[in-house]
């Protein structure tokens, strides 16, 4: 909603286990896709691989119904029963369901990339157990959750601080996938299946149950992320400084969000990538912003992604905004994101962390729109 000059002024008052590679063929697809994705953004130091076709459980798949949904609900109940037996919180079940949806569409597959099989596409060659063991859903769920009696690869309870991580990041910490952004986009589907299965995702529990030498203190009370810790121990990913080189671009492309204005090629490419990775989005990029002509919007450098309501009053809106903001931050090195504002906080590529947002001297940070509680603002270089 404002450009870097506004950003600088505003900050002055505040600042004092699907394994990485699964076969040579998959790597070849990743390499080609990476090169194709980098070009529209016009710079940067790293690339992002597109998801190859044919992997089960991609975002945008039709919602399961009929026999498939019945199978998913049955496996969800089984996974949750393992979590309950071990005294794990509902959040652990939610992360497991998100993971299984991506890896297998929550089905006990007898096939997969390389030697991957089962609900979580665990690999015998990676130490998860024998093929017969992994094909046992209870064994696979226990292996995913980890702990002293589980196989050698670290499971969820073996990861210090997992309860404070974004849900998709916690899943990625176990799976070590080549496509880390895929887990977060399955959250709502996992919640829908859990609801159909009668699973209490707000169930309290010991996050390190079944593990020796675990960190001391506390239990996870619910399946939501903490609201107020600026991503260091909440729903927002802290990210890291991004030092890519992004040549200046002029607004020469028709705004793909239909405003009638022009945006830069980098902004248009970001919109396309966001839609591909996050599904249907209500967003607007170019705007005259007569009340703030130095904003990035009239220069075609910014987009606002709506979450539908004041997220301070809606957990689903908050979760959706966190998902959008986290994706923007974690892919900034590939897309040229300059800064992100969401839920009363601001992240910049230069700093790499979230800090409180004070409105930049232009907006009321306590207002739903001014504080960015009803939309995520993304500015690009």
- DSSP per residue over 1-59, as a string? ---HHHHHHHHHTT-----S---HHHHHHHHHHHHHHHGGGT--S---PPPPTT-SS-T
How many whole angstroms separate alpha carbon 222 and alpha carbon 237?
19
Model confidence band, residue 55 (pLDDT cutoffs 50, 70, 90)? very low
Are 333 and 313 in contact by the 8 Å Cβ rule? The answer is no
pLDDT in tens, 148-192: 777 778 999 998 888 888 888 899 999 998 888 889 889 989 999
Angle between helices 315-330 and 167-175 (to 10 degrees): 50
Give the predicted TM-score (pTM) of the model: 0.48
Strand partners, 376: 305
Q: What are phi and psi of 187, to 5 degrees?
A: -60, -50
pLDDT at 41: 61
**CA distance readout (Å), 374 to 81, 135, 365, 366:** 36, 44, 12, 12
Rg (CA), the chain: 21
How many whole angstroms separate alpha carbon 224 and alpha carbon 232?
15
Are 209 and 89 in contact by the 8 Å Cβ rule? The answer is no
Q: Which residue has the higher pLDDT, 337 or 19?
A: 337
Express as a percent the part of the chain with pLDDT over 70.
76
- For the chain, give every domain's residue range: 4-16+237-380, 67-197
Q: Which residue has the higher pLDDT, 209 or 381?
A: 381
Chain mean pLDDT for the chain? 80
The CATH fold assigned to 4-16+237-380 is: Muramoyl-pentapeptide Carboxypeptidase; domain 2 (3.30.1380)
Looking at the predicted structure, is the pLDDT value of residue 20 above 50? no
Q: Which residue has the higher pLDDT, 19 or 105?
A: 105
Least confident of 52-56, 179-183, 260-264, 268-272: 52-56
Looking at the predicted structure, is the pLDDT value of residue 118 above 50? yes
């Amino acid at each position: 909603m404002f450009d870097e000059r506004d950003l600088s002024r505003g900050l002055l008052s505040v600042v004092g286990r699907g394994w990485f590679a699964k076969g040579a063929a998959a790597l070849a697809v990743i390499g080609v896709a990476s090169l194709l994705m980098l070009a529209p953004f016009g710079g940067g130091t790293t690339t992002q691989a597109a998801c190859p076709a044919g992997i089960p459980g991609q975002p945008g798949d039709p919602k399961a119904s009929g026999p498939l949904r019945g199978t998913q609900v049955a496996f969800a109940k089984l996974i949750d029963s393992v979590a309950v037996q071990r005294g794990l919180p509902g959040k652990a079940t939610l992360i497991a369901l998100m993971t299984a949806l991506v890896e297998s569409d929550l089905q006990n597959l007898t096939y997969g990339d390389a030697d991957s099989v089962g609900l979580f596409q665990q690999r015998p060659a990676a130490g998860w157990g024998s093929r017969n063991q992994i094909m046992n859903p209870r064994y696979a769920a226990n292996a995913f959750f980890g702990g002293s009696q589980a196989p050698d690869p670290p499971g969820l309870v073996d990861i210090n601080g997992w309860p404070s991580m974004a849900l998709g990041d916690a899943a990625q910490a176990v799976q070590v996938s080549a496509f880390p952004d895929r887990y977060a986009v399955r959250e709502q589907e996992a919640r829908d299946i859990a609801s159909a299965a009668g699973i209490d995702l707000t169930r309290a529990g010991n996050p390190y149950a079944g593990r020796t030498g675990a960190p001391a203190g506390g239990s996870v009370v619910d399946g939501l992320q903490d609201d107020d810790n600026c991503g260091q121990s909440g729903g927002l990913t802290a990210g890291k400084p991004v030092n890519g080189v992004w040549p200046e671009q002029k607004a020469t492309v028709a705004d793909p969000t239909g405003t009638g204005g022009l945006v830069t090629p980098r902004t248009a490419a970001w919109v396309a990538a966001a839609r591909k990775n996050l599904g249907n989005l209500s967003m607007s990029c170019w705007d005259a912003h007569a009340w703030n002509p130095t904003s990035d919007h009239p220069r075609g450098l910014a987009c606002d992604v709506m979450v539908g309501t004041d997220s301070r009053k809606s957990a689903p809106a908050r979760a959706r905004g966190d998902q959008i903001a986290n994706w923007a931050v974690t892919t900034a090195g590939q897309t040229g994101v300059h800064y992100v504002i969401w839920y009363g906080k601001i992240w910049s590529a230069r700093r790499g962390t979230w800090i409180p947002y004070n409105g930049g001297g232009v907006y009321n940070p306590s207002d739903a729109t001014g504080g960015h509680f009803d939309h995520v603002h993304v500015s690009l270089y």
